[in-house]
Structure 1
Amino acid sequence: MTEATERQLPIPRYAWVVFALTFGLLISDYMARQVLNAVFPLLKSEWALSDSQLGLLSGVVAIMVGLLTFPLSLIADRWGRVKSLTAMAILWSLATLLCAVAQNYEQMLAGRILVGVGEAAYGSVGIAVVVSAFPTRLRATLSAAFMAGGLLGQVLGVAIGGSVAASHGWRMAFMVIALSGLALAVLYPILIGERRLAAVAEKAGQQPYERKKAFPKLGSLFAGRTLKCVYVGSGLQLFVAGALPAWLPTYFSRYYHLPVDGAAKLAALFLAICGVGMIVTGMISDRMFSSPEQRMKLAVGYSLSCAILLGAALMLPAGPPQLMLLGLAIFLAAATAGPAGATVAGLTPAAIHGTAFATLTLANNFLGLAPGPILTGWLADQIGLLGALRWLPVASIAAALVFLAARQSSRAEVAFAE
């Protein structure tokens, strides 16, 4: 199918149903993950927990996601994506309900482990379902919007959890989020089915996903230089996107002398800017850049622009000019998510898209989102927080160089993408 023909394909109405329900479950996923952070003070007081114990309750979810994303995505590609997403949502919702009735730390930890198991592959398999229902011209927008949905879920999890906990106690906070997730999980397979997805994929001009063909061609996950570079470049750029949201509240507290709540609110605003940036830059990628080479060129531009803006911002003293440049920098901090997701979808077979996105998720987490906050904190102990943040543009420059290498892909790789 030619590019001109593909751009004339209409978006099936059912595709928006798929997007809405899958996106809704994604928000539920992150709300279940983040509600705990809103009730830390209450748990600490009631059970006399240490900060290390609280940290483990939060971090164990990310650990399980990191360990299980790839194998569970592979199983989902084979077993059936709709059934798998439903099972995942039911598991994390029931696990959140278990947290609501936990009588001690050990029971709460067990519940949080199960939350991590349930959420491990949702992001990768969910985006595979979404991109299968739309024309390929929207892949960057959809990939970016899906990742931005995670940010929205985090904000809502903390906000709703904190509000409910303040008025009805921490157990009710877990319960409200668990029951809303269960409701969506029950509704999902009723409205979304594999056969209807195959039909809508055909209308969108895509090859229908066939789960019986999900195991072959796993070597395609790493076929050619482009894919390898996309995984690495995406992870390096998200080093910045992981470090900034984690340390901005502390930065605003120390260097702008804001109270804790004021620093948190300002940081939340920057987190929202990051989410908007992901969606807008993904739309730009879809509208103006269609081939893998063009998208990699755009990713280079996003990464370098982020490095320049962030470096300039952190050389200025605290004040409005610095905040303006920081806002522009964080707008681009995760801008490569759209081009990277679209390229991975374009260069891998539809039958293993869930596994392909899991591979991208692994790279994003292990190269960027996980080490970003940790290494920045370690460096801050050595040279101060401002000094540590001034090193972040190096990660963006490294990402730009890797994306530049990806742009040098062979014609054979590009042909496979079409």
Structure 2
Amino acid sequence: MTEATILDRDAVPSDRGLALRRNVALGMLFLVGTINFVDRQLLSILVEPIRADMQFSDTQFGLLTGLAFALFYAAMGIPMAMVADRWNRIKLIGIACLVWSGFTAACGMVSNFWQLAAMRFGVGAGEAGGTAPSLSVLADYYPPAQRPLVIGLFTLNGPFGVFVGAAFGAWAAAHIGWRGAFLVIGGVGLIVAPLLIWLVREPARGQMDRTGADDAALPIGQTLAMFAQRRSLRMVMIGSGMAAFVSYGMLNWIPAFLMRVQGMPLSAMATWFAPAAGITFGIGILGGGWLVSRAARQSPRAYGTIPAIAAAVLVPTFIAALLVDSWQWSLVLMLIPMAACIVYVAPALALVQNLTAPRSRATASAVLMLMFNIVGLGLGPLFVGMISDALKPEYGDESLRWALMAIIPFAVAAGIAQFAMTRHLDKDFAE
């Protein structure tokens, strides 16, 4: 039995046509999200050939994979989400996909750091119209009890995109070059975007909620007020921000660590790292959503407890993976922290969907993703790059090992914040 079939069981309302529409929507939104993550991972996989061609420092690369993308993603995220709460979300996602795919293709035609940074600005601005509207669409296709698992399935686009990006990037570096890789991925997005608009129907807002949808979207001030009024929403912002700092710092720098410090050949990226990353990230995201869906039937505290346990598992296993001397053992030990570092994603996104009104969900998701992207994507990779450059005169290539070790305290802080959130979840769900 497929996951989609399981999700359709006990659907509200029971409608075979609705089941087909929701599965098509989930599949197409997953595909669009995968293209999003392939683009992000591609730059990380191709860091060494790009660095050799353009002579980047680790700090500059941290800017490219983190802050340059995240600033424009964050700046456009809330405005795009406000549009999504007021306009056709499917058309918005399709247009956004066209924009970021065009800029992705343009990344293959740059000749210096600043041109590539400008293209990444454009990619970030376009991708801001993808995830938050997609989450809002899925919340209107599936009832509240199913949302952690559904969002876990949707956010599998991240690990699947990591797998495809790593495998394709390693192949492209050897056969068509890093420029050709960006042109191909950008072209795929330009084809998929019109298919999304053609195949997916915009759902009625609030059709899966007992309260239904309000007539008008909430002003941004009222949406922000929900985060101020509900302590669990405030704590999920803090815990998720710290967890994103760790996960993006790991995701963006593990390939470079394995190749530069541990001596992993580029060809082994496609053979070993790509499937390892895809499978472990998939287990982390889907496992987090599935565990919370089951455990939350007994207590909503599961939204905080399970991510906190994952953070506790991550710390010792990541330290061990960084300290061994061979890329083979490092990759084997890295499997556990690569899964644990993203367990928080589906529970956090589902929590926001379930504690906010239908007409404010895209905006509320964008507020949470502001933390994901400014604190996590924007600062995590940059922090690792800056520490690596600072330590390089003394440690050489080994500086990256100790720079990655420096994110461990943030993992501890994330686990503490997620566990602290559990004190407020019973009250907030009751209200």
TM-score, L = length of structure 2: 0.79
Which deviates further from its counterpart, 257-266 or 215-224?
257-266
Note if contact 2:301-2:426 (Cα within 8 Å) is conserved in structure 1. Answer: no
SS at match of 1:68: helix
User: Measured at CA, do residues 7 and 156 of structure 1 come closer, stay the same or move farther in structure 2, by a change above 3 Å?
Assistant: closer
CA distance in 1, matches of 2:326, 2:79: 46
Deviation at 1:63, TM superposition (A): 3.1
Which deviates further from its counterpart, 28-37 or 403-412?
28-37
SS at match of 1:117: helix
CA distances 1:382-405 after superposition (whole Å, capped 9, x unpaired):
484444444444222212221222
- Residue 229 (str. 1) matches residue 235 (str. 2): yes
Deviation at 1:88, TM superposition (A): 0.7
CA distances 1:219-251 after superposition (whole Å, capped 9, x unpaired):
224331100101111121223212223333344
- Residue 284 (str. 1) matches residue 286 (str. 2): no
Which deviates further from its counterpart, 133-142 or 353-362?
133-142
When the two structures are aligned, how many residues end up with a matched partner? 404
- Residue 400 (str. 1) matches residue 415 (str. 2): yes
Deviation at 1:7, TM superposition (A): 8.2
CA distance in 2, matches of 1:57, 1:320: 28
CA distance in 2, matches of 1:81, 1:409: 32
2:281 alignment partner, one of 267, 274, 286: 274
Which deviates further from its counterpart, 141-150 or 105-114?
105-114
2:38 alignment partner, one of 31, 38, 52: 31
Deviation at 1:13, TM superposition (A): 2.7
CA distance in 2, matches of 1:251, 1:171: 23
- Residue 413 (str. 1) matches residue 419 (str. 2): no
SS at match of 2:237: helix
User: Measured at CA, do residues 370 and 269 of structure 1 come closer, stay the same or move farther in structure 2, by a change above 3 Å?
Assistant: farther
User: Measured at CA, do residues 263 and 255 of structure 1 come closer, stay the same or move farther in structure 2, by a change above 3 Å?
Assistant: farther
CA distances 1:43-63 after superposition (whole Å, capped 9, x unpaired):
789xx7442698476563333
Partner of 1:326: 334
Gaps of 5+ in 2: 1-7
User: Measured at CA, do residues 9 and 37 of structure 1 come closer, stay the same or move farther in structure 2, by a change above 3 Å?
Assistant: closer
| Code of the aligned partner of 2:25 | V
After TM superposition, the structure 1 = structure 2 runs for residues 19-418 of structure 1, keeping only pairs within 5 Å, are: 19-35=26-42, 49-51=54-56, 55=61, 60-98=68-106, 102=109, 111-157=119-165, 159-160=167-168, 163=171, 167=175, 173-194=181-202, 197-198=203-204, 202=207, 204=208, 212-215=216-219, 217-218=222-223, 219-253=225-259, 256-262=262-268, 266-272=272-278, 273-290=280-297, 291-311=299-319, 324-380=332-388, 381-382=390-391, 384-409=399-424, 411-416=426-431
| Code of the aligned partner of 1:397 | V
CA distance in 2, matches of 1:301, 1:198: 37
User: Measured at CA, do residues 184 and 395 of structure 1 come closer, stay the same or move farther in structure 2, by a change above 3 Å?
Assistant: same
User: Measured at CA, do residues 166 and 214 of structure 1 come closer, stay the same or move farther in structure 2, by a change above 3 Å?
Assistant: farther
| Code of the aligned partner of 1:360 | L
Deviation at 1:98, TM superposition (A): 4.8
CA distance in 2, matches of 1:317, 1:49: 30
Deviation at 1:8, TM superposition (A): 3.4
Partner of 1:3: none
CA distances 1:130-155 after superposition (whole Å, capped 9, x unpaired):
23211222322233333331343244
CA distance in 2, matches of 1:180, 1:173: 11
2:11 alignment partner, one of 9, 12, 19: 9
CA distance in 2, matches of 1:163, 1:312: 30
CA distance in 1, matches of 2:425, 2:110: 59
Note if contact 1:132-1:209 (Cα within 8 Å) is conserved in structure 2. Answer: no
Which deviates further from its counterpart, 26-35 or 254-263?
254-263
CA distances 1:57-113 after superposition (whole Å, capped 9, x unpaired):
65633332132212221222223312211221122233345556x586587665443
Note if contact 1:238-1:364 (Cα within 8 Å) is conserved in structure 2. Answer: yes
Which deviates further from its counterpart, 350-359 or 178-187?
178-187
CA distance in 2, matches of 1:253, 1:42: 12
CA distances 1:281-305 after superposition (whole Å, capped 9, x unpaired):
2212112324432321222222222
CA distance in 2, matches of 1:135, 1:327: 33
CA distance in 2, matches of 1:390, 1:112: 27
CA distances 1:311-358 after superposition (whole Å, capped 9, x unpaired):
455566658776544322222111111221221111111211111111
| Code of the aligned partner of 2:291 | I
Note if contact 1:39-1:161 (Cα within 8 Å) is conserved in structure 2. Answer: yes
CA distance in 2, matches of 1:239, 1:301: 17
User: Measured at CA, do residues 286 and 305 of structure 1 come closer, stay the same or move farther in structure 2, by a change above 3 Å?
Assistant: same
User: Measured at CA, do residues 173 and 192 of structure 1 come closer, stay the same or move farther in structure 2, by a change above 3 Å?
Assistant: same
CA distance in 2, matches of 1:253, 1:95: 28
| Code of the aligned partner of 1:189 | I
